[in-house]
Structures are given as structure tokens and as C-alpha cells.
Structure 1
């Protein structure tokens, strides 16, 4: 990771201080806890640890967007280099809270974001595909939600859920593709968790069933019909940082090869490709921070695709070079091999 500032000259001295302090924190606190775990208490302890280090503020857009994209990428790259599970938790807290930062009423935004940043609340978000999701009907100043919100990250662990529903009323059926966002407390009557499973990093994912779930109108995020825009903006805001996490995983795999003196010419070429791609990644992050009007999301997507593919190839080479040792549970390369596909769940 020492090549970061050679590859990314657009980083500032503030970013340099962040990277140095983060390197120490990761070595002391994250590496010893890098093992995957199925214990929910471990996740809460990790969230508290990230908060104590004042890191969650780089993922949670408090009090409002935009995020410091370069800082977000630095944190995710460093965390993923040590523990894809820690990175996954960090990233999901940002993803699940970003809709609130974008468009939630002030009281709702301030209440939840301060708790997430302090590590006192875990956030979940349902990332629907196509027109999947519950239906919402307005009744007496409330919305009544019925149906299932699919693929909720951190389901069963979370204190709050960001859910996207299609609004219908007596004169209009639920409109395809016209969703509305709501924030729902985990203890609300009518919220049920179905089909609880684990991601590759060990974190829970499930469907959230809404059974006559009555949500106050004040807990709608934005306006009716804003859900698609909010979801798209949220996904776009974190896309580059997913690429940074993939960079961290790929470089860790290369470091494991190097530590065993098994570096090949092919691996060296891929490392050079990775550093070049990483340089472009941080140039794009610099544009997000300083010239947002010039940002091209198609190039962000292309950068993620290139780096994800490179990381996949590098981890495969590391597995081949290191051999059976790399297949043992919680070996660093095995963690990277499990963690990389989990990034696909985040967008």
C-alpha cells in the first residue's frame, strides 16, 4: 500500500494523514479481527470500532452529500486489504444511510445518521431489481406497506431499514418502476425477516416482509415517486469506492505472493496494470471532489469493471502460486477470494 501516493498524486496532505493513521489502525485493530464470523455481536463490535476511530464519517454523508470521494476510496482500499468483512460493513453503512442524507426530513436524518456515525445503530438497505418490492397505500396520514423487499443487506442485524415501495391508491395501481423510499425502524410491527442467509463475507442478507406495516408519512424519504432517483444516486455515489475495495483485495493477494518469494513475471505485469488502473481511479475520485460537473458515471462503471476483472485474475494467480495453503479458511488469499464477489451485492 506504500505506492498509494505515487499512484494518486491528486491526494492532499489531509488524505496523507488519513492514510497514515488508517494504516496504524488497520494493523492494530482490523488485522487481528479479520476472520469471517457468523456472530452478530462481532459485527456490532466492528461498527463500534470503526466509529471510535472516526472512520464511519467517511461513509455516512452527514449532514448531507457529497462525500469526500478520495477519502472514501482510501478507507475502503485499506480496510479491504486487511478484511473484506470490515470493508463490507463500512460500505453498507454508507449505502444504507445515503438515501437519508439525500432527502429525509431533517429530524429523521439527524436522528439516524448521528447514531450510525457513532456506531450505535446498524443500517440496512434493500436493493431491489426490476419492479420487485412491496406496495404502499396511503391511509389516514400513514402508508400501509404490503409485500416483500428483496435482498436487504444486514437484514436481521439492523436497527433501521431503507426500503423502496411502489405507491398505489384507490384510483391508481402501483406503478411499475415508480418507487418511493421509506425508512423503517427494526422494531415496527409488521416488519418480518424472511429467508435469512449469509453473504460470502458472513454478513446477513434476507428479504424483508412487510405485513400490514404502517409507516408514518414523516418517514418517507423525499417525495412519492423519488425512489428510483434516490436509489440510482446512492448506487452511483459508491461505485468508485467499490473499485477501491477491489484494489485493496488485489494488492493483498500480490503481497501474499511477494511474502513467499513466488512473484512471477505474469504477476508483476498484473501488478503494473493494477497500479495504472488505481491511478485512474483516484483521478476520477479527484474529479468527484473538485469538478463534479465533469464526472462521467459511464467511466466510473468502466473503471470498476476493469479493476474487478484485474482483481479476479490476481487472486486466481495468488491461489495458484501459493497452493493449498491459500485454500484454508481465513487465509488472507481465501478471504480476498470470498470478499471480491460480495462487492457485486453492493450495486
Structure 2
């Protein structure tokens, strides 16, 4: 749903200008130095990029799912690390508060997240709890009016620089599975909370990822998201359901950029006396890539509109994330192929995006986990739909 078309078009035009004039020229430098310069982060704050999905009442833009998808497509046509820097605040790190936070929690944190004053992160994954998040081992033991947290989270985006951590822990250690998990808001500086060094990664250099280490970390009971223990897993799934649509949009931007780069390179590069754009097998890779990105964009925008209308799009969100992330990987692979030997060199956009988009098939649920989710929901929906004797 688009609330104000003129306002949205103005926002998209501003973002497009920022991406072209500010972000893209600094891609190679950030990839090399593994750091986004602070003046650039300040520019993101001034543009309001940290608060797109946060309600207007708390200083954000209050974008709908469809509007946010269109913004994500624009933003991600530059290296994906730019969006990762503010993406937690306008996505998964704030969504738990938006959907389930108490009035006091929202008032305390959402305006600061929206302005970019603080950076949030979503600390769910553990060494033994990745795809099976319900097996998490981090504990939260009640001690009077407080809880004491112990455990380790891993692969947490922005953990090395985050100011606010949404930490998922088991408040009922004897209760297996999703029950008995609670979400806690923990501020940096809380005794017992530490973050390790940023991990070295295949791609997305400039987007720090690391551990969140909790050792006798004492927080008040009021730090539980929503104020009630045992609702953490439900909160996480609400946040992830929206984030999977967001991430699918973030897979489309790189595909658009790479198709543009393939076309440009194919027209300039000559072999056997002709631009390689004249050869049909090169054209096939460009055609397949452009077709797939259009299919992904149509699927994601339709799902976003349905979410805005209040429909349950849990299965469709999985479809979006699975299809768009796999699509981005195929397009990046074809881009390297079109670029040939140059595509394997670190100086090219094809090589950089090939590394950057690979993680899309891993986080927010691996492709295989989404395939299982889609299959289960498809079979459940079809159960009993066919009468005996009908084909």
C-alpha cells in the first residue's frame, strides 16, 4: 500500500541521488578498509534512513511494507553494506519493539533508533541454534526484580558497534522448544555484556558481524519486550516475517545493478572483432537475469501489498526470501561469467557483489529451511481439498 505517491516518489528520488552520488563512489574504498566512514553514516542519519519503518509518532517515516520494499530496492543498488549499517534500526532490530514493545519501551528507544542516535541489533542465533532457533541455550534466571542472562550469540550483524541488543533467552529452562523463550532489551555498558572482535567475512566488508557474550548479565524484569516472559519466540517470528520481505527487496537491488553492469560491459568488451553483446549466449545470460529480477520484484511487491492489507503472508514471505535470494546469487554468478577473467578480479563490481549477495541465502532462514516451511504450509493447505475420486 502506497499512502502518498508523490511523497514516496520524492523519497525514492532522494535516495537514488544519494546512492549514485555518495555511496557507489565509495564502494571499493569501504570494501578495502572494511569500514563505513562516520561522515557517511551521519549523512544517512540526516536523510532519515535509520527510521523508515518506525512509526511517525516515534520520529520515523512509518512506511508501509510496499513502500519499504521500494526503498530497499533503491538502497541496495549500492553495495549491501550501506543498508546493513542502518537496516537493523529500520528493520529487524526495531520491529520487535514496534510489534510487541510496551508503551514505555517504545518511548524510550524508538525515537533514538529512528534518528540513528543508537544502533540496534537482533541477537537470536547461537553456536548450537541457527536454523533451529528454538534450541537456543542462553538462559535468563529470575532473581527478584531482575533476570541474570548467560550465554553466547554468534553471527550478529552490527554487534561490535550496537548500542541496544534485543537478546533472546530461555526464561523457563525446563520448557523445551519455542515455549519459555523471552526477548530482553539490553543496553551496551550493562555489566556482563560484551561483544567480541568483528569476524572476517567473505563479503559485505564494512558491515561488522560478531558475538554477543552474556556472563551474569543482570537486567531488570522491565527489560522484557512486552513486559511478559515467554513471548519471545512469537515476537521473533513477527519480526522475521516482515524482515524476510525486506530482505527479498534487498536482493532485487543488486540484481538490477548487476544487469546494468553486464549490459555496459558487454557493449564495451570486444572479442573476435565484435562487442560481446552481439553474441547470443551472452544475451541469454542478460535476458535470464532481467527476467528473474522482474519476477522477484513482482512477487515481493504483491506479498508486501497483501501484508499491508492485513493478510497472513507467512508462507509467501518465505517464498519471497527464498526466490529472491537464490535469484540474486544466479544473477551475480552470470555477471562474473559475462565479465570473464575481469569478473574474478577484486577491482570489479561483479566480483564484489558476487561475494556480498552470497549470505542472502543463509540468514533470516536458509533456503532449505524456507523450502521446508513452504512445503509444510502448502501440504497443510491442500489437506482434504481433493475429494475421493477427483483428480
Q: Aligning the two structures, in what range does the TM-score lie when normalised by the shorter sequence?
A: 0.7 to 0.9
**RMSD of aligned residue pairs (Cα, Å):** 2.7
TM-score normalized by structure 2? Answer: 0.78
Which aligned runs of 4 or more in structure 1 are off by greater than 3 angstroms? 8-14, 35-41, 43-47, 59-67, 172-176
Aligned to 1:160: 164
Query: Which one has a bigger Cα radius of gyration?
Result: 2
- The structural deviation recorded for 1:285 is 1.6
- The structural deviation recorded for 1:234 is 0.5
Larger RCO (CA within 8 A; separation ≥ 6):
1
* Mapped partners of 2:109, 2:200: distance in 1: 25
- The 5 A counterparts of 1:1-347 are 12-35=5-28, 36-37=30-31, 42=36, 44-61=38-55, 63=57, 67-93=63-89, 94-128=91-125, 129=130, 130=132, 131-168=135-172, 173=174, 175-178=176-179, 179-194=181-196, 196-199=198-201, 200-202=203-205, 203-222=207-226, 223-260=228-265, 261=267, 262-263=276-277, 264-266=282-284, 267-289=286-308, 291-293=309-311, 295-329=312-346, 331-343=348-360, 344-347=362-365
**1:320-343 CA distance string (max 9 Å, x none):** 111232333353222321221233
- The structural deviation recorded for 1:176 is 3.8
Specify whether residues 46 and 232 from structure 1 end up closer, same or farther in structure 2 by C-alpha distance, changes over 3 A only: farther
- The structural deviation recorded for 1:40 is 8.1
* Mapped partners of 1:43, 1:108: distance in 2: 30
Give yes or no for contact 2:16–2:75 (8 Å, CA) kept in 1: no
- The structural deviation recorded for 1:258 is 0.8
Give yes or no for contact 2:121–2:166 (8 Å, CA) kept in 1: yes
SS in 2 for 1:150: strand
- The structural deviation recorded for 1:119 is 1.6
TM-score normalized by structure 1? Answer: 0.87
**Paired residues, what number?**
335
Larger displacement relative to structure 2 (194-203 or 335-344): 194-203
* Mapped partners of 2:32, 2:189: distance in 1: 22
SS in 2 for 1:197: coil
SS in 2 for 1:224: coil
Specify whether residues 277 and 212 from structure 1 end up closer, same or farther in structure 2 by C-alpha distance, changes over 3 A only: closer
Specify whether residues 332 and 61 from structure 1 end up closer, same or farther in structure 2 by C-alpha distance, changes over 3 A only: farther
- The structural deviation recorded for 1:59 is 3.7
Structure 1 residues not aligned, in runs of 5+: 1-7
* Mapped partners of 2:298, 2:199: distance in 1: 36
